[in-house]
Amino acid sequence: MLIRTPEEDIKYVLYTEEQIQKRVAELGQELGEKFRDKTPLMICVLRGASFFFTDLCRQMKCHMNIDFISASSYFSGTKSSGTVRLVKDSSIDMTDRHLVLVEDIIDSGLTLQYLERLFETRKPASITTVAFLDKDVKKPNRNGVDYRGFVIPDEFVVGYGLDYADYYRNLPYIGVLKEECYQ
């Protein structure tokens, strides 16, 4: 049995740890200014966004509350299934709150669209969407995101919380996964 390191499965590094930290600091500063007097409810979409979410919240210089939800449209594949499943819902009343919905990656946009519609029914004061990565793809009915870390090519990426079959989340960078690892 061949035992490889996760790094050996990476075709190339798209964004380094340093580039990621610099961009997260910039986003944190922007969001901290926007919500300085509002005490936003920061909502992390688990599990992929957890690394980004934690670093982003640390960079925001404002009061906030945090919560976690779990939703997915992938179900262990490399492409969206076309259906969103809400696994864990928020436990905090969202009425008249400024929500900041933090996602790891926007591909089809289906999960983000589903969550925005769901949370709009809960009567928040506002919903701001933040995605660490936004794939440069043209899809029908794909909504934009308010804040994004990086726009990336349409390739399968892992690292910094993003996974394939629950592996690679711990890589400190964003890398393109070799195709032989998921085919």
User: Would you name the residues annotated as active-site residues?
Assistant: 107
Which helix (H) or strand (E) element contains residue 44? strand 41-46
C-alpha neighbours within 13 Å on the C-beta side of residue 50: 13
Between CA 119 and CA 95 the distance in angstroms is 10
Between CA 129 and CA 48 the distance in angstroms is 15
User: DSSP characters for 86-152?
Assistant: EEE---S--TT-EEEEEEEEESSSHHHHHHHHHHHTT--SEEEEEEEEEE----TTPPP-SEEEEEE
Residue entry with tokens 């509002």: 38
| Terminal alpha carbon distance of the chain | 19
